[in-house]
Amino acid sequence: MKMTRLFASSAALAVAALLSSAPVEAQNFSKFVQIGDSLTAGFLDACLVKYGQADSYGAILARQAKVGEFQQPIVDEPGLGGCRKLTAIAPSPQFAIKPSTGKPLNLTLPRPYDNLGIPGYKVSDTVDAKTSADNGNPLTDLVLRGLAGGTTQLQQAASLKPTFLTIWIGNNDVLGAATTGTVIDGVTLTPKAVFDAKYKTIIDTMKAAQGGTGAGVAIALPDVTSIPFFTTISPVITTLNGQPITFLSARNNTGTPAPIPASSIVTLLASTFIGTGYGIPCAVLDAAGAPANHPQRANCNKPLPDTANPLTGIPGVVLYPEEVTALKNRTAEFNATIKSLSEAAGYKYFDANALFADVVANGRLYGGVKLTTAFLSGGIFSYDGVHPTSTGYALFTDELIKFINKAYGATIERPDMAAFMFNGNASSGGFSPTISFPYTPEEALKWAAEIFPPETHKPFVEMFGGKLKAGPLVPDSSSETPVRGDEDFVSRGTETRE
């Protein structure tokens, strides 16, 4: 099954924890329901798959709170979306992509799932989308299944009349702009007014469904620009002679390529382009003594794409400082809305943004082992650089349980982090890696198409006066697509923030 919005589904973050044990006397968890996106769904390694869903933060919370029944839309191995599997770390990380052929295992449940998290969802999807046709997201049908003649995520959650609710929606209202390197208010970035209205609908509907109790937690949106997808590749290249320079790009993909400001963000997707020379001044290759046939000479002095190309689906991989500021500001605005609306309705506001910032700054120490947000080596983020590992979800749930216990006077037992740290979420066996990272041009376009789905195209199409037709992406053979090449220079020439 084709999965769209791979990374768009995600949101940002990061962080932490679990919860558990029965505060029966303090808080009724007999019907625990979740509204959310990929972070609620247990998405990781760029896919929706059983080994991630089993340890979604809701699943961990339900176990710890001793919830009798907690149903999720479990997807069997090898998952949907193409789970990434690390196949090598030297000279640069190599990933295989598993086939996206996982079968749903819980489709016949005659009622809505308790975990209604749907990867890629924005606040408008939660309120308005009843089928995949409404939002172009195939996972809508997987989770909502047209129950009751077609109902939205919000309607299904309300129909369950939860005694306890978590709401963690809105990450994709920011993240899509960030992962595509294309920050356009009203296009890739959800306008504040739209967000406020939709979120209010969610809060009002659920409070009414809960009999006005407001029992539950509304979770803030983390600062997406702090996740490994945006922090692993430094904008600064350290040349062989030690002179620091920045990559080349061109604002809005127009004009003469120029060094980007040092406070810019270069996304993880840029490694595909950097591998073939994009963004690297030819003078750097000269100084490094790169031979004439060095693969990076093919595209040196050419800019890293700044914004997404609606024709090819190739995303931008650079966020200029003002774009970063815009993302942070909008996140802050959304969080202000979440806090004010949720608390006014009686829900507790869990500041996942502050938590994530703390984890980014300090990591978490367990028994002499420090978990950090570093890509691949930190233990908290999965192979997609956006979603947590099972350990990361456990860490988040642990923090959430501490919050719930304090806010509600509950006594939910915190999760056992050792079980996650020493058992991991390894998905070993059976799959022969055939595709490596960085991608071939075809793979890069396929990935870009997943990240930059047709529904995101629509505003672009409209911007161009409807001359473009939204639909499946077709590679533009005339465009300067990257080619897979030797990573030798990249491994020496890029500085990572590990």
Partner 1 sequence: MRRMSRGLHAGAVLTVLSLLLWATPSARAAGFSIFEQGSRATGMAGAVTASINDGSAMFYNPAGLADNKQFTAMGGITFLIPDQEFTGANPYPGSSYTVNGKSMIFFPMNLYLAMPVGEGMNLSFGSWFPFGLTTAWENPDQYYGRFISKRAELRHFAFGLQFSMRVNEWFSFGLGPELRVSDVKLFQGYPALNPYTNRVVEVAHVQVVSDGMEAALSFGAGIQFKPTKKLHIGFAYHGSVDQDYTGEAIFFSRPTGYADFDARVAGLAPLDKPIPVETAIQFPATWMTGIAYDFTDCFRVEFNANYMQWDIFKETILKFGTVDGKTLPTKVIPQNYENVWSYRVGLNYKLGETTEFMAGYVYDQTPQPDETTGPLLPDANRAGYTLGASFSPFKNVYTDLSVMALFFHERTTTTNDNNFNGTYKTFVWIPTIGLRMNF
Q: Which residues bind partner 1 (CB under 8 A)?
A: 18, 20, 86, 88-90, 364-369, 371, 376-379, 382, 389-391, 394, 398, 413-419, 421-426, 428
The nearest distance, CB 366 to partner 1, in angstroms, is 4
Q: Of 52, 101, 98, whose CA–CA distance to 72 is shortest?
A: 52
Pick the closest to residue 425 from 40, 43, 10, 21 (CA basis): 43
- Choice between 309 and 436, CB closer to partner 1: 436
In this structure, what token pair is assigned to residue 459?
A: 């505003």
CB of 61 to partner 1, least distance (A): 13
CB of 480 to partner 1, least distance (A): 32
Kindly state the smallest distance separating residue 98's Cβ from partner 1, in Å: 15
Q: Which is nearer to partner 1, 297 or 364 (CB)?
A: 364
Whichever of 8 and 412 has its CB closer to partner 1, that residue is: 412
Residue with Cβ nearer partner 1 (431 or 468): 431
288, 296 Cβ separation under 8 angstroms: no
CA distances from 167 to 175, 188, 313, 333, 442 (A): 17, 22, 31, 17, 37
Beta-bridge partner residues of 189: 185
Q: Based on CB atoms, which residue is closest to partner 1, 333 or 413?
A: 413
For partner 1, give the closer residue by CB, 208 or 361: 361
Least Cβ distance, residue 417 to partner 1 (angstroms): 4
C-beta closer to partner 1: residue 8 or 83: 83
Minimum CB separation of residue 401 from partner 1 in Å reads: 9
Instruction: In angstroms, give the least distance from the CB of 136 to partner 1.
Output: 32
